[in-house]
Chains A and B, each alone.
Chain A
Amino acid sequence: MTGPPLVTVRNLTKLYPVRRSAFGRPTGALRAVDGVTFDILPGETLALVGESGCGKTTVGRTILRLVEPTAGDVRFDGVDVRALEREALRRMRRQMQLVFQDPHASLDPRMRAGALIREGIEAHRLAEGAAADARVARLLEEVGLRATDAARYPHEFSGGERQRIAIARALAVEPRFVVLDEAVSALDVTVQAHVLALLAELRRARGLTYLFIAHNLAVVERVATRVAVMYLGRIVEIAAAERLYASPRHPYTQALLSAVPVPTPGARTRRILLTGEVPSPTAPPSGCAFHPRCPHPGRDVECTRTVPPLEEVEPAQLAACIKIRRKPSAGNESSHPSPVARP
């Protein structure tokens, strides 16, 4: 995992106007994504985690330009995604695919599995006729289904099988980068384990890069090489997966990890119970958006004033909290604080 990043995201911001006045004029804004910066390196699986409304899905959609950002910069393989015109964007989209949470909703129920997979192949003129059929058959087998399944309709498959079809459909256009938005969240655990194994296998075999958007931290630990934690539109911590799980530094990451129920009786030792719920993104708290719920003992008035920058707190671990004591700098990297943790 070396070389230049495949995806670079800089100061990405997405505001949605909120209409409140009697004349329907926007009187405020929902800050869905608020100045997010990160890189995705070729071949890695970057997980974007956080609770509902934190902006993780919007980040994924903005990279694919399914949602137009309000501000900020997104580059794919060095190309400015925001500047692309229609035809260029269409060609770019071949390289970036999306798999949704609910394959029931994302697969047209009137189309057979084969036709669903074939759609992209033909739209991008990758093959036609018998050659396209052969591709469809190969893809079905690659995701663990049978070539004969091409003739069946989505409702004839189980939830896990439908998700395999959605994956085959995404891979049909030979993308380099796939956004997996809660792609296994709706599946039962045994099915989920198989689909996660399939995704890992495909990544190895095809040299794919994933952005894995999820709320379940235990699932993320199985697949991610790096993890970014979001809260109210901002990244509060980003680090290599082993590091983030072994020694989370941001108080929110710590609370989030401690909240996951442990499937071992009697194993629970301590839980950081946050008070209240995530505030509305239409009126995020001042300063550090987490400050009203923060359990950090050093929390003070400064936290309500200063927006904490995302800074290196350990080598290859960045956190946005002014109360974290930093280890003395190792030297070389401190001269230009990198926006990304390099594994």
Chain B
Amino acid sequence: MIWRAFASEWVKMRRRRLWYGSYGAIAAVVVLTTIVTIAGALHHPDSHGDLTLAQLAHASGLSQGLTQSGVLLGAVSFSIAAFQFGGEFAHGTLRNLLVRQPRRSTLMAGKCLAVLTFLIGAVVAATIVAICAAFVMAHLRGISTGAWTSGAGMADLGTLLGDLTISACGFAIIGMIAGVLLRSSVIAIAAGLAVLLPLETILTDAIPGMARWLPAQLLEAIAQGGSSTAHFGAALTTVSAYLLGAVMIAVLVFVRQDVTA
């Protein structure tokens, strides 16, 4: 049953415009942060501890740019997922789907899996493009890339890709929840991005230690493999608990609510 909902959702997501838009946006975000990171690297260390060309030549240098793309990647993932879920209410297509699949939790699970696989594909594709961009930038800035292709470099890249994927999926799940609860893609995207980006940043700046509790901050920490304020394991545990609770509420609401759209 979940497979049917999954396959059905993929019929929609196969359309070219969605691919170009989503994959393009995610690739653009990742490539842009990679280029900016490498282009902005200093020749010599400064007092601020900014990234240097020598640091970029290490095995972890390839993933330095990708690390910075966590929040923007998350914002795009959130928007895509919120659009896919909220749009069903806004377009009135949800009623068609529910007549063919009255098991609402099954429908939601299938749609969720489809959106996540779509996003995982997008993150992987964007990472490949970003790696290409990183090599080009390294050549332009005279950075040695020998260490990037070493075993340690590849392991580092693999770990980062996993972290980015987890982070993007976390943002996407929040997007789906927002879409279901707010029943509108536009409102879900607007409200969600307002809360996840500026509001969380303000709260983090205003209240010390807040970054350990806010979902977008935690997901950003996960994308970076852990940060000074939130270690990877703690961030993953806290976010997982948030998402589990929120998903349960969203499923409960979705299953019980009257479909009047």
Do the two shown chains form a genuine complex with each other? no
Q: Residues of B at under 8 Å CB distance from A?
A: none
User: Which A positions have Cβ atoms within 8 angstroms of B?
Assistant: none
